[in-house]
């Protein structure tokens, strides 16, 4: 039963996945302050509300949808996306200087747009008089600040918009100040992005938190630290759960190699007792003993989560009555969420005595309490291996070198011993 051909595998039997229920969620300085990015702290509820307000403000800031638009040196949607991801979960550490700068940027852009609106509203009449001017020129972002400043000054001198000179000056200040802001904000926001995701996900272009959430929470495919970026991106951008599982079956050797490299690199005392068992899972899988590999991987996952959460683990898994939701996951930081979210589907209720149908995706309970080809197969073994290795990678990062233990929360809460 253990040996299986490399590919192709038989498709999983169709099964409706259990969809989790998941609940989600700035004083204004005149000038941006110099950042103190080392001073990270967990946001208070009030500060989280400020961040949500800022997200909404940035998303609202846009020039009117007309042919003539003042070039925007900075696209506010970049900041809106960053702020939205930051506000996604309740526990998030953010530099105060970043909050202040984002708030200042939002307020400044809003003032500029309001001040220039009369000029933009006159565009249709102006365009009838000067049809020879190609409006596409004005929409390009390639014009330099100097060119834009000269253009604004020339138009203001030669055409009577019925506006004061202060509008043109304000437009020039707008372009110059946005350019200055982006120079100071960009490094901070880049480091902030790095703090969201593990290294194997950081280089994926235009990665949305919703994409990650769907894979790790709904599909229970772990992505923390493994697999390599190319495989992780393929899983994230796949057309659905069936295509993602097909990738697990087709690229199992690459995923196994990535997991072995990650496990070989573990050094902390916190995870040392678990490394031999992770290697045993890998050895069994690589030799074709998938049933043995999956059984051991399931036990390893159970041991790691129990060591970290203790008796509190029940808060993060479904209950028999089906009333518990994933609301407790909102406490996690983004990284914690990526690491632990596969737990929700992995621990779906399964009771042999009740005649429950054996699930086709990896289930810790089905792996422990029944034997069936619906449950024991290479795709599920790879799914379990990814989860176990992801947990080890996360625990390695969180381990205290002095004490050899894991810290439950960034704010100094209860520590889970390993």
* CB-based contact 372:381 (threshold 8 Å): no
Give the single-character DSSP code of 415: E
The average pLDDT across 389-409 equals: 73
**Do residues 307 and 295 touch, judged by C-beta distance below 8 A?**
no
Instruction: Among 88-97, 210-219, 375-384, name the one with the lowest average pLDDT.
Output: 88-97
Residue 135 contacts residue 68 (beta carbons within 8 Å): yes
**What pLDDT is attached to residue 415?**
38
Residues 343-360 have pLDDT tens digits of 999 999 999 999 999 999
225: region left, alpha or beta (phi > 0 left; psi from -120 to 50 alpha): left
What is the reported pLDDT for 291? 98
* pTM, full prediction: 0.64
Would you say 150 and 205 are in contact if contact means Cβ atoms under 8 Å apart?
Answer: no
CA atoms within 13 A on the CB side of 193: 20
Q: What are phi and psi of 415, to 5 degrees?
A: -100, 140
Please state the domain extents for the chain. 45-196, 202-416
Q: Which residue from 77, 90, 111 is spatially nearest to 189, judged by alpha carbons?
A: 77
Q: Do residues 256 and 385 make contact, with C-beta atoms less than 8 angstroms apart? A: yes
107's enclosing H/E stretch is helix 96-121
User: 100-141: per-residue pLDDT in tens?
Assistant: 666 666 666 666 666 655 555 555 544 544 444 444 444 444
Provide long-range contacts, Cβ within 8 A and 24+ apart, for 362-371.
362/220, 362/294, 362/298, 362/387, 364/298, 364/301, 364/302, 367/294, 367/295, 367/298, 368/298, 368/299, 368/302
Whether 255 contacts 384, CB under 8 Å: no
Q: How much is the pLDDT for 135? A: 44
Question: What three-state secondary structure class fits 124?
Answer: helix
User: Mean of the per-residue pLDDT values for the chain?
Assistant: 74
């Amino acid at each position: 039963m253990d040996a299986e051909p490399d590919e192709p595998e038989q498709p999983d039997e169709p099964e409706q996945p259990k969809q989790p229920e998941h609940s989600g969620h700035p004083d204004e300085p005149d000038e941006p302050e110099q950042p103190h990015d080392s001073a990270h702290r967990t946001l208070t509820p009030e500060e989280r509300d400020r961040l949500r307000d800022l997200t909404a403000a940035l998303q609202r800031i846009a020039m009117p949808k007309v042919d003539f638009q003042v070039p925007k040196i900075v696209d506010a949607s970049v900041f809106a996306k960053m702020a939205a991801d930051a506000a996604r979960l309740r526990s998030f550490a953010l530099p105060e200087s970043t909050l202040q700068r984002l708030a200042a940027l939002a307020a400044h852009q809003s003032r500029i747009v309001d001040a220039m609106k009369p000029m933009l509203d006159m565009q249709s009449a102006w365009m009838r008089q000067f049809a020879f001017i190609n409006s596409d020129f004005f929409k390009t972002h390639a014009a330099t600040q100097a060119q834009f400043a000269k253009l604004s000054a020339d138009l203001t001198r030669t055409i009577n918009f019925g506006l004061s000179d202060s509008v043109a000056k304000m437009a020039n200040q707008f372009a110059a100040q946005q350019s200055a802001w982006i120079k100071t904000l960009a490094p901070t926001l880049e480091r902030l992005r790095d703090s969201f995701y593990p290294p194997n996900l950081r280089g994926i272009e235009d990665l949305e938190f919703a994409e990650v959430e769907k894979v790790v929470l709904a599909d229970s495919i772990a992505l923390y630290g493994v697999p390599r970026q190319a495989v992780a991106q393929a899983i994230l951008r796949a057309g659905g759960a069936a295509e993602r599982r097909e990738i697990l079956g087709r690229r199992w050797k690459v995923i196994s190699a990535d997991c072995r490299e990650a496990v070989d690199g573990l050094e902390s005392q916190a995870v040392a007792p678990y490394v031999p068992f992770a290697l045993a899972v890998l050895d069994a899988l690589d030799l074709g003993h998938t049933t043995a590999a999956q059984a051991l991987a399931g036990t390893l996952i159970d041991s790691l989560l129990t060591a970290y959460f203790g008796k509190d683990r029940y808060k993060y898994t479904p209950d028999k009555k089906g009333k518990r939701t994933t609301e407790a996951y909102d406490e996690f930081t983004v990284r914690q969420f990526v690491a632990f979210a596969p737990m929700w589907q992995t621990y779906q209720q399964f009771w042999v005595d009740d005649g429950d149908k054996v699930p086709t995706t990896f289930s810790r309970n089905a792996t422990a309490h029944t034997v069936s080809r619906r449950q024991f197969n290479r795709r599920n073994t790879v799914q379990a291996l990814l989860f176990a290795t992801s947990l080890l990678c996360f625990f390695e990062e969180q381990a205290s070198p002095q004490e050899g233990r894991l810290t439950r929360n960034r704010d100094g809460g209860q520590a889970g011993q390993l």
